[in-house]
Amino acid sequence: MLGTRHRRVANSLDIVPHAWTFRDHAGGDDPCVDDIADLYPPPVQQIGALEELTRVVKDQVAHLDYGHTRANVHNFAGQIAPDHKPWLAQVSHQHLDAYVLGMGLEGTLDARWFFQLR
């Protein structure tokens, strides 16, 4: 449970906000695991077993009844990175660099610097 001091920022193309919510529990346009297989259209290279993998995830974690906070939410529409054609490269971009870009922090914060080993 979160208290009152929080802010949720979510990229529409980040798979993490999709991973723990399910169509039968999600509200309206909430991201859900059922959408992951179709999240990145071509030219992003698809992974054949992705639908099966999302079904397994759903079967394993649906009983946890996880839900996203609905207060203090800032959603932004992610953009497909055309130079990240392998599916996992797109996942990485959307989960890291896209937040820097989506929040207008390019030139101020560099995700590669932030996550480098020191």
Domain that holds residue 14: 8-114
Q: Give the model confidence (pLDDT) of 54-97 as tens digits.
A: 889 888 888 887 777 777 888 899 999 999 999 999 999 999 88
Number of residues that make up the chain: 118
Determine the pLDDT at residue 28: 62
Q: Give the model confidence (pLDDT) of 19-29 as tens digits.
A: 877 776 656 66
Q: Is residue 97 part of a domain?
A: yes
**58 is written with which tokens?**
């759903």
For the chain, the domain total comes to 1
Give the whole-angstrom CA distance, residue 60 versus residue 34: 14
Q: Is residue 3 part of a domain?
A: no
Q: Is residue 2 part of a domain?
A: no
Q: Is residue 108 part of a domain?
A: yes
Determine the pLDDT at residue 17: 87
Q: Is residue 40 part of a domain?
A: yes
Q: Is residue 18 part of a domain?
A: yes
Please enumerate in sequence order all residues whose Cβ is within 8 A of that of 43, keeping only pairs 6 or more positions apart, or say none: 82, 85
- DSSP E strands, the chain: 8-11, 73-76
Q: What angle do CA 88, 89, 94 make, to 5 degrees?
A: 95
Confidence check: pLDDT of 117 > 60: no
The partner residues of 10 in beta bridges, in order of sequence, read 75
